[in-house]
C-alpha cells in the first residue's frame, strides 16, 4: 500500500505534472489534487471517453484490452491509465 502511495506522490512531483486524479468505476473521483468542480468535470468526461475507447478496442478483438489513453492538446497532455475498477488520470505539460 505504501508503495502505491509513494508512486502516486512521485508522479505528482514530476516535472510538468499539473494534477493527479483517481476515479472509480462509476466516474466518481476518489482522490484528487485539483479543486472539486474541475475534478468532477474531468472525471465525468474522461470516464465516458475511456469507456468508449475500451469498448472500441474490445469490440474489434475481445481478447484485447485498453492499456492506456493519451490525449495531447495544445496546452497539455491528459493521460489515462484504466484499471479494472479505477481510472488514474494525470495532466501534464510535456513541453518545457
Partner 1 sequence: MPAKAGDRQRQNQNGPPGGRAAQPRLYGASTKKRDEDTSTEVGEGVDEWPSSKTVVKPPDQLDLTEAELKEEFTRVLTANNPHAPQNIVRYSFKERAYKPISYVDQIAIHFSLNGNMILRDSDEGRRQSLRLSNASEKAPSETSAVVSEEAEIKDEKSTEDVQAAEEEEAEGTETAEAAEAAEAEEPPPPKVKEKKLPNQFNFIERSSRTLDNPLRERASQSEPTPCKNFSANANQWEIYDAYMKELQKMEKSKEKEKPKAQIGKKVEKKRGRKLISLESQGDDITKISNAAKIMERMVNQNIFDDIAQDFKYFEDASDEYRDQKGTLLPLWKFQYDKTKRLAVTAISWNPKYKDLFAVGYGSYDFMKQSQGMLVLYTMKNPSFPEYVFSSESGIMCLDIHNDHPHLMAVGFYDGNVAIYNLKKAASQPSYKSSAKSGKHTDPVWQVKWQKDDMDNNLNFFSVSSDGRIVSWTLVKNELVHTDVIKLSAEGTTMQGPEGLQLQTVGCGTSFDFHKKIDYLFLVGTEEGKIYKCSKCYSSQFLDVFEAHHMAVDSVSWNPYHLKIFISCSSDWTVKIWDHTIKTPMFIYDLNAAVGDVAWSPYSSTVFAAVTTDGKAHVFDLNINKYEALCNQVVVAKKKNKITHIQFNPVYPVVIIGDERGQVTCLKLSPNLRKMPKEKKGQEVKKGPEVEIAKLDKLLILVREPDGRAQGQEDKALL
67 touches partner 1 by CB under 8 A: yes
User: Residue 41 or residue 70: which is nearer to partner 1 going by CB?
Assistant: 70
Stretch that binds partner 1, among 32-40, 41-49, 57-65 (CB under 8 A): 57-65
59 touches partner 1 by CB under 8 A: yes
83 touches partner 1 by CB under 8 A: yes
Contact by Cβ (8 Å): 62, 51: no
49 touches partner 1 by CB under 8 A: no
92 touches partner 1 by CB under 8 A: yes
Give the Cα separation of 95 and 49 in Å (integer). 24
What's phi and psi for 91, nearest 5 deg? -110, 125
The residue among 1, 7, 87 whose CA lies nearest residue 49 is 87
60 touches partner 1 by CB under 8 A: yes
What's phi and psi for 24, nearest 5 deg? -90, -175
Structural element, H or E, at residue 70: strand 69-72
86 touches partner 1 by CB under 8 A: yes
Out of 19, 34, 46, 90, which residue is the one contacting partner 1 (CB under 8 A)? 90
Amino acid at each position: 500500500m505504501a508503495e502505491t502511495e509513494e508512486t502516486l506522490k512521485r508522479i505528482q512531483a514530476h516535472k510538468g505534472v499539473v494534477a493527479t486524479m483517481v476515479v472509480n468505476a462509476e466516474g466518481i473521483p476518489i482522490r484528487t489534487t485539483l479543486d472539486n468542480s474541475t475534478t468532477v468535470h474531468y472525471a465525468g468526461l474522461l470516464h465516458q471517453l475511456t469507456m468508449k475507447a475500451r469498448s472500441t478496442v474490445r469490440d474489434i478483438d475481445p481478447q484485447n484490452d485498453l492499456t492506456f489513453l493519451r490525449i495531447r492538446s495544445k496546452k497539455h497532455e491528459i493521460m489515462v491509465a484504466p484499471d479494472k475498477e479505477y481510472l488514474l488520470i494525470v495532466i501534464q505539460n510535456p513541453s518545457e
